[in-house]
Amino acid sequence: MNLENKVAVVTGGAMGNGLGIVKVFLKYGADVVILDYSDELADTLKELNNPKVSGYKVDIRDKRMVDAVINDVLAKKGKIDILINNAGVAKLERFVDMQDDVRDFHLDINIKGSWNVTKAVVPNMIKNHYGKIVNLSSVTGPIVADAGEVAYATTKAALLGFTKALAMELVKDGINVNAIMPGYIMTPMVEGIAKDTDASNPDSVVKGIADGIPMGRLGTIEELGELAAFLASDNSSYITGQGIVIDGASTLPETRSVGV
């Protein structure tokens, strides 16, 4: 893969899947700009210690802030070739107990946030007749779901629809729009779910998840980053409007109780 001379914007790139994407993009030569609201951003930039990566502390729910930051990126870099809409949240709570503010927390970040950043970036891509947009959907929502995931699943399913419709609108502008649909990747989000499930032994929760995956393990953020790099590269020039599953075959079994 070659991302030399490409400018990539990665939302939520300070940790988790986003950090995996940033690391792989840097490996392949991209100039990476992280947009993240977390205080981890400064530590991440220091840890990466790479002149080709920079960052902005941004609340992607705030359209004015997003517009200002993207305008600043364009003023400094001259273009944006790649957008990775990775920033997202998940708070597990049963539908009947969920307050509207928890629902809106998911909608505002997972959907509206991705919408805001995409809306700010796309005009430059259209102008250059070139762009790669990758949205982080999930297997949760479009394919599977568990109790407590109604808000999260709704937003991740919506992102897949957003991907397909946007791909159709932008296909004649030289812009590819695709989605990554991860299963379980070892991220701080998964670690948090494990602690919430069993604070005394979160490792047992992670092992339980791994036992239900045919590959017997969770994916790594770098593995997800490699898929993102492929979709962001010219190697994927004939792929658009697709949701690509990366889940260690966790959604493949017809049942867990029957087998040879």
Residues with catalytic roles = 152
As given in the structure block, the two tokens for residue 119 are: 């809306």
The CA distance from 204 to 206, in Å, is: 5
Cβ partners under 8 Å of residue 178, min gap 6: 133, 134, 135, 163, 167, 231, 236, 239, 240, 241, 242, 243, 244
